[in-house]
């Protein structure tokens, strides 16, 4: 076992994919000799040559547009968008062509493209360097959208994304690039379209992904000191969504909080809250809550700590999950047998003070 950072795990995944498949190509802005802004492609040009890992012009639409053509001719391009908000000029290519080509050609043309997007805040960067753009992609049918939270997942999910016949938007939480864990590479973790339980618990479920998984785990540790066992679910895949794992957790705990960095209004957490409510309504002890970024443009570096979900904000949300509620027998059960079924029949909740 060795201590590996997320950035190094992604680098190793790209290196192993390039070595295993001659059709894999890696390119983007400064990903060649420089090795990328975050050094995720460090050393790849020297090892595999400028035909396999190379710099592109500063034109994100062109990066994705050429990837479409390369994929149509049998290559497996892996492109980097350098920063989240830099990817918006390529959005027309992603939505109109990458996502729709298979359906447009009735399955005859697949586009096995991986679009790597460093995203999220927490590194003290300025505007255009801290966006959480996941909802734009997850809302687009035809795309797979995944985001690793650990080095082991970074390696395993990127290898799986490159091998996938579908286009994959691979969102890399940039604040986690330097996070390490003891892991032996290569490693194979759970399939990339499955959520995993990072910490078991019985009282409430924290649903997080990418950069907020670690924050959720810290909040769960703090909640345990207050006597509440909180489960943490790492979604990993935003599209498709793993309903089975999330539903099983929330039905077991009865309470849920969704945590993400993007703004709350019409954010990804709204979809998660809706799905959980639809599937777990009769198991819920309280409304599903969200802890998210504020509904503002991304703030300056000195203010981002107030914008991003924190342990204190998550604990405050957990406190609002109606713990004061009391359980009593359903009125109709109590009437039918003179109250004899009070201990065995289904129950409803009576709010304190109601």
Active site residues: 129
Query: Which residues make beta-bridge pairs with 29?
Result: none
Distance CA 102, CA 113 (A): 12
Beta-carbon contacts of 115 under 8 Å, excluding residues fewer than 6 positions away, are 64, 67, 79, 81, 87, 90, 94, 98, 167, 168, 169, 170
> Based on C-alpha coordinates, what's the Rg of the chain?
22
- Structure tokens, 111: 């586009």
**Contacts for 94 with CB less than 8 Å, ≥ 6 apart:** 64, 87, 115, 137, 140, 143, 169
Structure token pair of residue 252: 């077991």
For residues 109 and 100, the answer to whether their CB atoms sit within 8 Å is no
Nearest to residue 159, comparing CAs of 213, 175, 151?
Answer: 151
Nearest-angstrom CA–CA distance, 203 and 257? 12
CB 308 within 8 A of CB 122: yes
Give bridge partners of residue 116 from the DSSP assignment.
80, 170
Q: CB of 341 within 8 A of CB of 328?
A: no
d(C-alpha 30, C-alpha 80), whole Å: 9
Contact 94, 136 (CB under 8 A): no
Instruction: Using alpha carbons, list the distances in angstroms from residue 184 to 7, 78, 151, 161, 189.
Output: 15, 24, 10, 20, 12
């Amino acid at each position: 076992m060795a201590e590996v950072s997320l950035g190094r795990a992604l680098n190793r995944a790209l290196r192993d994919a390039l070595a295993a498949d001659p059709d894999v190509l890696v390119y983007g802005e400064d990903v060649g000799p420089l090795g990328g802004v975050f050094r995720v492609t460090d050393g790849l040009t020297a090892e595999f040559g400028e035909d396999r890992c190379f710099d592109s012009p500063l034109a994100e639409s062109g990066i994705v547009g050429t990837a479409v053509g390369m994929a149509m001719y049998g290559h497996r391009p892996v492109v980097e968008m350098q920063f989240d908000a830099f990817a918006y000029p390529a959005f027309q290519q992603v939505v109109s062509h990458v996502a729709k080509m298979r359906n447009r050609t009735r399955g005859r043309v697949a586009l096995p493209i991986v679009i790597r997007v460093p995203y999220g805040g927490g590194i003290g960067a300025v505007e255009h360097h801290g966006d959480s753009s996941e909802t734009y992609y997850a809302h687009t049918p035809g795309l797979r959208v995944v985001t690793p939270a650990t080095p082991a997942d970074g390696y395993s999910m990127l290898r799986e994304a490159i091998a996938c016949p579908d286009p994959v938007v691979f969102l890399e939480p940039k604040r986690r690039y330097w996070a390490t864990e003891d892991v032996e590479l290569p490693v194979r973790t759970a399939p990339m379209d499955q959520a995993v339980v990072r910490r078991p618990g019985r009282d409430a479920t924290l649903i997080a992904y990418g950069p907020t998984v670690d924050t959720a785990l810290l909040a769960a540790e703090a909640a345990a000191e207050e006597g509440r066992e909180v489960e943490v679910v790492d979604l990993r895949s935003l599209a498709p969504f793993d309903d089975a794992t999330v539903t099983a957790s929330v039905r077991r705990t009865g309470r849920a909080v969704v945590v993400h960095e993007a703004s709350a209004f019409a954010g990804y957490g709204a979809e998660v809250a809706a799905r959980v409510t639809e599937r777990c309504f009769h198991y819920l002890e309280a409304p599903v809550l969200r802890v998210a970024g504020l509904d503002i443009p991304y703030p300056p570096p000195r203010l981002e700590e107030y914008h991003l979900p924190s342990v204190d904000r998550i604990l405050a949300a957990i406190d609002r999950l109606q713990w004061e509620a009391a359980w009593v027998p359903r009125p109709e059960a109590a009437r039918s047998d003179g109250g004899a079924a009070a201990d065995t029949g289904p129950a409803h909740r009576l709010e304190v003070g109601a």
